[in-house]
């Protein structure tokens, strides 16, 4: 018997087949075909995307030399905040998927963040926090709209799509992130005329990243729907990650497959990293950087722009009760995209060469790289920042620039780490890293020196897939406890802080922050 795990990333679809020992028996991947209809617009065409999802699962089964009937379950993990809307009766899409890093609503973001109504809301929330000390109001007092949230992009779509707007008025529109849409498609099967009843649902980890969900109250923030032009009837029901998600219809792969779990990518990575305890922290270095701190049963309110999320909500068989665990997240949108740019720009031909290039020079000769293709998130929170290189000299080589680029990735993680130190009373000793860029030794060692913490890298760098497979297996009874995953976790390399380099590294980090200020607020509103 085997477990399948489907991972829907921003640029890549992956499916891995695991045995009960969580060894990989088969795998397949495909590129996500992103569409760029205008500058700043990023979309995915649903029909082509569905064909790729089906194909990648079939190829993974072929790679493992098994049939769908031999899968005990399939776990699903997806990128967050990419959404679509469709007609309740006909299933017709009103538009393509709008990807999480799409910038079409940036003017609306600016307008709403400067709106008197928001400033009044922040003021009232701050007043209520001072009276009640309820952290929900503290979160409201620093609330800002962001492009990466569903909220403003969905509001933009409603304003600019007549068919969608009319369908909402007629109560015939449905909204969903990728998990909602996939669960619907899997249960519907290949017969689009299939009229069987299918629950319109989303899992709590995907819901909490939309900006439409209140993690403190664990429900949709319906009080805000009128602001965005939404109605409650179009929203999916929010369920636990251990919910009974039904089965994949047998018309797709020849046999029914039990859907073992649905979970957002960063939450899946938390599971894959075994960050089960309060105070555990992991950093995913993928297309972007995501630092997640397990805050236990406490939903954290941040003043620096860190985002409170539901890390998972499951039925815990060990305690025989429902369990809700929270995390706080800091994000940097440009990580793997910087490596991709380095290849396209001709700095190196293979990402694996970049670490050796960085180590081939002793320093950057005071060159600093500013990584802001998508602006800056917390704690800088500047959508108008520019990317650039400062300090180039006649003696500058590609290796100096590559070292500066890799340093900037670690510097952004260090900024997020400093935020967690200032906002929490947790004591840290280890950072667990995963994602493609975590394979870079230079970045991992610099991160250890910047934070003064041990950095652990596991043998399997794709921990979101591993975490999904384990949770699916746990939900269907293949595994009995989380300790089984902990025991199977293999650390490939540990990076220790180097005392002789820490002061020099921190001094340079301060110099980099000074350089960043020169690139802040660079672009005008056009």
Residue labelled with tokens 């995907």:
206
Tokens of 379: 């704690």
pLDDT score for 377: 83
Q: How confident is the model at residue 194 (pLDDT cuts 50, 70, 90)?
A: low
Q: What does the pLDDT look like over 284-333, one tens digit per residue?
A: 998 889 999 999 998 987 777 788 999 999 998 878 889 999 999 998 88
pLDDT score for 193: 60
**What burial letters (b/e) apply to 460-475, b meaning 16+ CB within 10 Å?**
bbbbbbbbbbbbbbbb
Q: What is each CA distance from 252 to 25, 189, 256, in whole angstroms?
A: 21, 6, 8
Which of 7 and 110 is assigned the larger pLDDT? Answer: 7
pLDDT score for 380: 85
Q: What does the pLDDT look like over 420-435, one tens digit per residue?
A: 888 888 889 999 999 8
Q: How confident is the model at residue 1 (pLDDT cuts 50, 70, 90)?
A: confident
Please tell me the class of the 332-463+495-518 domain.
Answer: alpha beta
How far apart are alpha carbons 225 and 230 in whole angstroms? 5
Whether residue 516 is predicted with pLDDT greater than 70 in this model: the reply is yes
Task: Supply the mean pLDDT for the chain.
Answer: 92
Q: Which of 302, 270, 438, 266 has the alpha carbon at shortest distance from 377?
A: 302
Lowest mean pLDDT among 135-139, 309-313, 333-337: 135-139
Under CATH, domain 2-103+147-255 is a member of which superfamily? Answer: ATPase, nucleotide binding domain (3.30.420.40)
How far apart are alpha carbons 405 and 399 in whole angstroms? 10
Does 2-103+147-255 match 332-463+495-518 in CATH topology?
yes
Residue 234: helix, strand or coil by DSSP?
A: helix
Q: How confident is the model at residue 142 (pLDDT cuts 50, 70, 90)?
A: low
Q: How confident is the model at residue 138 (pLDDT cuts 50, 70, 90)?
A: confident
How far apart are alpha carbons 32 and 45 in whole angstroms? 10
Q: How distant is the alpha carbon of residue 315 from its chain centre?
A: 23
Lowest mean pLDDT among 42-51, 116-125, 355-364: 116-125
**Count of Cβ atoms closer than 10 Å to residue 351 Cβ:** 16
How far apart are alpha carbons 361 and 255 in whole angstroms? 56
Burial (Cβ within 10 Å: 0-12, 13-18, ≥19) of residue 12: middle
pLDDT score for 121: 72
pLDDT score for 525: 58
Q: What does the pLDDT look like over 94-122, one tens digit per residue?
A: 999 999 989 899 888 888 777 777 778 77
On whether the CB atoms of residues 385 and 518 are closer than 8 A, the answer is no
Q: Write down the domain spans for the chain.
A: 2-103+147-255, 113-143, 332-463+495-518
Q: Which residues are CB-neighbours of 14 under 8 A, at least 6 positions away?
A: 6, 7, 27, 28, 29, 56, 462, 465
pLDDT score for 479: 95
Whether residue 124 is predicted with pLDDT greater than 90 in this model: the reply is no
Q: How confident is the model at residue 460 (pLDDT cuts 50, 70, 90)?
A: confident
**What burial letters (b/e) apply to 218-240, b meaning 16+ CB within 10 Å?**
eebbeeeeeebbbeeebbbebbb
Most confident of 102-111, 140-149, 255-264, 482-491: 255-264
Q: How confident is the model at residue 270 (pLDDT cuts 50, 70, 90)?
A: very high
Q: Which of 469, 485, 480, 475 has the alpha carbon at shortest distance from 74?
A: 469
Tokens of 203: 């899992």
Mean pLDDT, residues 202-211: 96
pLDDT score for 466: 95
């Amino acid at each position: 018997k085997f477990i399948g795990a489907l991972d829907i990333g921003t640029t890549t679809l992956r499916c891995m087949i695991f045995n009960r020992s969580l060894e990989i028996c088969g795998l397949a991947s495909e590129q996500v075909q992103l569409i760029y209809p205008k500058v700043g617009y990023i979309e995915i065409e649903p029909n082509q995307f569905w064909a790729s999802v089906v194909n990648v699962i079939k190829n993974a089964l072929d790679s493992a030399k098994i049939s769908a009937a031999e899968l005990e379950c399939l776990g699903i993990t997806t990128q967050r905040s990419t959404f679509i809307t469709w007609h309740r009766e006909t299933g017709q899409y009103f538009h393509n998927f709008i990807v999480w890093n799409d910038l079409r609503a940036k003017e609306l973001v600016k307008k709403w963040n400067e709106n008197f109504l928001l400033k009044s809301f922040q003021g009232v929330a701050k007043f209520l926090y001072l009276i009640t000390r309820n952290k929900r109001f503290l979160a409201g007092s620093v609330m800002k709209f962001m492009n990466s949230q569903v909220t403003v992009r969905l509001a933009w779509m409603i304003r600019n799509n007549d068919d969608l707007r009319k369908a909402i008025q007629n109560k015939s529109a449905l909204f969903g992130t990728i998990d909602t849409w996939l669960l619907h498609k899997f249960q519907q099967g290949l017969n689009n005329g299939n009229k069987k009843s299918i629950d319109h649902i989303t899992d709590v980890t995907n819901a909490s990243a939309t900006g439409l969900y209140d993690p403190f109250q664990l429900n949709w923030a319906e009080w805000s729907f009128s602001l965005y032009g939404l109605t409650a009837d179009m929203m999916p029901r929010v369920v636990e990650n251990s919910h009974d998600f039904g089965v994949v219809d047998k018309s797709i792969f020849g046999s029914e497959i039990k859907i073992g779990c649905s979970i957002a990518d960063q939450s899946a990575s938390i599971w894959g990293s075994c960050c089960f305890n309060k105070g555990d922290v992991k950093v995913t270095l993928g297309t972007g950087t995501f630092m997640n701190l397990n805050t236990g049963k406490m939903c954290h309110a941040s003043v620096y722009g860190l985002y409170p999320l539901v890390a998972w909500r499951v039925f815990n068989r060990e305690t025989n009760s429902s369990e809700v665990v929270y995390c706080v997240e800091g994000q940097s949108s440009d990580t793997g995209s910087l490596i991709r740019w380095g290849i396209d720009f001709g700095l190196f031909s293979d990402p694996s060469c970049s670490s050796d290039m960085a180590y081939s020079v002793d320093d950057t000769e005071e060159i600093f790289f500013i990584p802001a293709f998508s602006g800056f998130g917390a704690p800088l929170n500047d959508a108008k920042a520019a990317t650039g290189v400062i300090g180039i000299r006649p003696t500058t080589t590609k290796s100096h620039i590559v070292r500066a680029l890799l340093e900037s990735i670690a510097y952004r993680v260090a900024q997020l780490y400093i935020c967690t130190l200032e906002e929490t009373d947790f004591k840290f000793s280890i950072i667990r890293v995963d994602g493609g860029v975590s394979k870079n030794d230079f970045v991992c060692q610099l991160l250890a020196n910047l934070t003064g913490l041990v950095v652990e890298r596991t043998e399997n760098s794709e921990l979101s897939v591993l975490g999904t497979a384990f949770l699916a297996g746990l939900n269907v009874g293949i595994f009995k406890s989380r300790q089984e995953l902990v025991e199977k976790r293999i650390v490939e390399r540990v990076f220790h802080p180097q005392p002789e380099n820490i002061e020099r590294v921190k001094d340079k980090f301060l110099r980099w922050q000074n350089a960043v200020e020169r690139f802040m607020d660079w672009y005008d509103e056009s």
